[in-house]
């Protein structure tokens, strides 16, 4: 029995804020089809995700790319904010010769 390409599982499931878990390529493409409004279906990140999911299911394309682009499509409207306080840099604690 040939395994359906759409039933391939991600190495690490995508767990969303609302509790939804996307385990397979089928889960991901169905989620996007259900949740993306018609006005945004031509959004670049959504079309790229659909392409990568299809390639992974039908052509053995890397699952990592399908997962990454799916996450980008899901979070397409969220602005990424840089947090400078997140991590101290190793050069932040010493003075440079020029600053003495």
> Alpha-carbon distance 35 to 54, whole Å?
18
What's the pLDDT band for 1 if we cut at 50, 70, 90?
very low
Judge if pTM exceeds 0.85.
Answer: no
CB 2 within 8 Å of CB 16: no
- The tens digit of pLDDT for each residue in 35-78 reads 999 999 999 999 999 999 999 999 989 999 999 999 999 999 88
Q: Locate the domains of the chain by residue range.
A: 5-11+20-74
Q: Is the pLDDT of residue 31 over 70?
A: yes
């Amino acid at each position: 029995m040939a395994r359906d390409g759409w039933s391939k599982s991600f190495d690490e499931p995508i767990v969303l804020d609302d509790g939804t878990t996307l385990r397979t390529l089928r889960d991901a493409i169905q989620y996007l089809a259900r949740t993306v409004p018609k006005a945004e279906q031509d959004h670049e990140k959504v079309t790229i995700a659909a392409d990568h999911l299809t390639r992974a299911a039908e052509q053995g394309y890397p699952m990592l790319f399908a997962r990454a682009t799916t996450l980008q499509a899901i979070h397409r409207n969220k602005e990424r904010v840089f947090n400078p306080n997140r991590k101290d840099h190793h050069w932040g604690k010493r003075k440079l010769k020029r600053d003495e």
